[in-house]
């Protein structure tokens, strides 16, 4: 991996630089966290200001701590702040696995993909998925029993996987230990490509592991496509049909690689994120009895134990507030890296080209300048009157600007349906004695799962 420290050509000052070790720079903070060191990023920004220069094994990173700067990066000057994989000429991080899918590609290649896929995720279009979401919520609830101890993270991963597989690919798929393991490995490799960059001749082991995971993932897509072909001529309006039926101007189908990359992107981006959000919501609810009691009042009045439908959602506003507050305290994507390819200016400072710019929703979401008592779990921040006052770029669990999450409406609807039906039937208590630790890779999950005891209401 190459790195060039281009000398600044202007007279602007450089941002303050956090102290670090020779050569390693601040790499140890990243290694110690085995992922995104949000506490280190938070402390560094609070100490040195809203743009701070650190280095990680020789590469420049700029940490960003102000919503106005995020506004520049993600919206106003989006064409200058590239998807982070552009820092390398060869596939690194998520591009190793998701290739040229919509999440990864830079702006020029992204536009046609977005035009193709976005209509599928439009708020009106996804309303039709509400019944599928409830159906699989019931399927999960049929596995739950009073007094049982469950790994809620595994359950949420399963139920969201059923939902994404049926809505996007028209198939039923069960979470397997292999799938969880390979997905964890992919995330580890993706993060390590940034936090422990190595020259090509040293990445042999990492490359082989990535290849193994890729073989597994390609097998998964082949299974999706084979099942669809076996289903014959059933007319469908899902992602799989869209990708398989789309033709270019010359009437040729999309290349297999394009289909593969986008199927995997939507499959993984579309379930792990929501699964983790729901898992953390159960965690916070278990620790906040007053909030839980308010949730019980809402679901008991609106649902009285029955399965929710689309029509119920406007009557479950507190459930949505709980989800939004969960995503504030525990944004599942805790850092949004971008690459700057050339020297540029930001916030009155000179930034060197070939660097990474790190905006952390976790840090923005806990900044006392924008949030009262930021460490408190308090869903009322998201009541309609309070939510209107939130600085737009101080809250960005779904990212921001043109590259904002394409599945945000889908995710919120799904989380609102599943959380309301589960809370209306069961109270979940944290199993005592477990150390709940956030593992922050590309997504944030409770390390080793989350054990909770079910109490039937
Ligand atoms: C609570 C759940 C979710 C969270 C927290 C979340 C978070 C995010 C974030 C932060 C980004 C922006 C990444 C960046 O700027 O680099 C993103 C992009 C994306 N998400 Fe989500 N996501 C969620 C659910 C979903 C779902 C349900 C789907 C699909 C059904 C989805 C599909 C995507 C795709 C395709 C992109 C790339 C969009 C583009 O670049 O045009 N996500 N997501």
What is the CATH classification number for the domain harbouring 369? 1.10.630.10
Pick the residue whose CA is nearest to atom 23 on ligand 1.
Answer: 273
435: which 2 tokens?
A: 């150390």
Cα–Cα distance for residue pair 20/29, rounded to 1 Å = 10
314 CA distance to ligand 1 centroid (A)? 23
Q: Is residue 241 part of a domain?
A: yes
Q: pLDDT tens track of the chain, all 457 residues? A: 334 444 445 689 999 999 999 888 898 888 888 889 999 999 999 999 999 999 988 889 999 999 999 999 999 999 999 998 887 777 888 888 888 899 999 988 899 889 888 888 888 888 989 999 999 999 999 999 999 999 999 999 999 999 998 888 888 888 777 877 888 888 888 888 877 767 777 778 888 988 999 999 888 888 888 888 887 766 777 888 888 888 877 888 888 888 889 988 998 899 999 999 999 999 999 999 999 999 999 999 999 999 999 999 999 999 999 999 999 999 999 999 999 999 999 999 999 999 999 999 999 999 999 999 999 999 999 999 999 999 989 999 999 999 999 999 999 999 999 999 999 999 999 999 999 999 999 999 999 999 999 999 9
Q: What is the pLDDT of residue 237?
A: 73
420 CA distance to ligand 1 centroid (A)? 22
Which mutation among 86, 273, 405 tests ligand 1's pocket best, with the greatest number of atoms within 8 A of CB? Answer: 405
124: which 2 tokens?
A: 């009106």
Q: Is residue 15 part of a domain?
A: no
Cα–Cα distance for residue pair 184/15, rounded to 1 Å = 35
Q: Is residue 182 part of a domain?
A: yes
Q: Is residue 7 part of a domain?
A: no
Q: What is the pLDDT of residue 9?
A: 53
Ligand 1 contact, 265 CB (< 6 A): yes
333 CA distance to ligand 1 centroid (A)? 9
Angle between helices 272-287 and 152-169 (to 10 degrees): 140
422: which 2 tokens?
A: 């589960």
What are the respective helix, strand and coil percentages of the chain, to the nearest 5? Answer: 55, 10, 35
Ligand 1 contact, 411 CB (< 6 A): yes
Q: Is residue 252 part of a domain?
A: yes
Please report where in the chains the tokens 């009541």 appear, as a residue.
383
Cα–Cα distance for residue pair 256/264, rounded to 1 Å = 12
Which mutation among 273, 326, 329 tests ligand 1's pocket best, with the greatest number of atoms within 8 A of CB? Answer: 273
Q: Is residue 11 part of a domain?
A: no
Domain limits at 213? 27-456
Of ligand 1's atoms, which has the minimum distance to the CA of residue 271?
27
Q: Is residue 82 part of a domain?
A: yes
Closest CA to 33 of 342, 328, 447: 447
109 CA distance to ligand 1 centroid (A)? 17
Number of neighbours of residue 289 by Cβ within 10 angstroms: 10
Ligand 1 contact, 398 CB (< 6 A): yes
The count of structural domains within the chain is 1
Check if the beta carbon of residue 322 is closer than 8 Å to that of residue 379. Answer: yes
Q: Compute, in degrees rounded to 10, the torsion defined by CA atoms 347, 348, 354, 360.
A: -20
Cα–Cα distance for residue pair 14/352, rounded to 1 Å = 9
Cα–Cα distance for residue pair 323/211, rounded to 1 Å = 36
Alpha helices of 231-288 — where are they, by DSSP H? 239-245, 256-269, 272-287
Q: Is residue 320 part of a domain?
A: yes
377 CA distance to ligand 1 centroid (A)? 24
Please report where in the chains the tokens 């496509």 appear, as a residue.
225
Q: What does DSSP say about strands 438-440 and 444-446: parallel, antiparallel, or unpaired?
A: antiparallel
Ligand 1 contact, 336 CB (< 6 A): yes
- Predicted TM-score of the model (pTM): 0.94
DSSP 14: P
Please report where in the chains the tokens 């990173």 appear, as a residue.
61
360: which 2 tokens?
A: 């952390």
Q: What is the pLDDT of residue 4?
A: 43
Ligand 1 contact, 221 CB (< 6 A): no
């Amino acid at each position: 991996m190459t790195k060039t420290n281009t000398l600044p050509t202007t007279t602007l000052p450089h941002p303050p630089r956090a102290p670090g070790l020779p050569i390693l720079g601040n790499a140890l903070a990243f290694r110690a966290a085995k992922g995104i060191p949000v506490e280190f990023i938070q402390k560094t920004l609070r100490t040195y200001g809203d743009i701070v220069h650190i280095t990680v094994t020789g590469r420049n990173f700029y940490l960003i701590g102000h919503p106005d700067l995020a506004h520049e990066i993600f919206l106003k000057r989006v064409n200058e702040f590239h998807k982070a994989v552009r820092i390398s000429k060869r596939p690194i991080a998520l591009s190793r696995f998701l290739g040229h899918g919509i999440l990864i590609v830079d702006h020029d290649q992204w536009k046609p993909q977005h035009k193709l896929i976005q209509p599928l995720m439009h708020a009106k279009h996804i309303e039709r998925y509400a019944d599928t979401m409830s159906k699989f919520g019931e399927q999960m609830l049929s596995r739950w029993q009073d007094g049982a101890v469950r790994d809620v993270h595994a359950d949420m991963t399963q139920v969201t996987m059923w939902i994404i597989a049926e809505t996007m690919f028209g198939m039923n798929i069960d979470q397997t230990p292999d799938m969880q393991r390979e997905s964890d490995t992919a995330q580890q490799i993706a993060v390590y490509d940034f936090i422990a960059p190595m020259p090509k001749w040293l990445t042999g082991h990492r490359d082989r592991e990535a290849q193994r995971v890729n073989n597994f993932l390609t097998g998964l897509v082949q299974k999706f496509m084979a099942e669809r072909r076996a289903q014959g001529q059933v007319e469908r309006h899902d992602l799989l049909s869209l990708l398989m039926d789309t033709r270019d101007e010359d009437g040729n189908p999309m290349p297999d690689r394009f289909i593969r990359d986008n199927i995997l992107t939507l499959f993984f981006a579309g379930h792990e994120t929501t699964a983790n959000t729901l898992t953390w919501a159960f965690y916070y609810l278990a620790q906040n009895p007053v909030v839980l009691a308010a949730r019980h009042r809402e679901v008991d009045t609106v649902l009285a134990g029955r399965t929710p439908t689309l029509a119920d959602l406007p009557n479950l506003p507190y459930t949505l507030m709980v989800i939004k507050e969960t995503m504030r305290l525990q944004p599942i994507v805790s850092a949004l890296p971008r690459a700057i390819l050339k020297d540029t200016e930001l916030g009155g400072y000179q930034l060197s080209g070939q660097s990474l710019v790190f905006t952390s929703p976790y840090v923005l979401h806990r900044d006392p300048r924008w949030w009262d008592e930021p460490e408190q779990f308090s869903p009322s921040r998201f009541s309609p009157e309070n939510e209107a006052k939130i600085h737009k770029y101080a809250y960005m669990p779904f990212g921001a600007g043109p590259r904002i999450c394409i599945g945000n409406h889908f995710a919120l609807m799904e989380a609102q349906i599943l959380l309301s039906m589960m809370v209306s039937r069961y109270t979940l208590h944290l199993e005592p004695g477990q150390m709940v630790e956030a593992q922050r890779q590309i997504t944030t999950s409770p390390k080793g799962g989350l054990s909770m005891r079910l109490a039937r209401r």
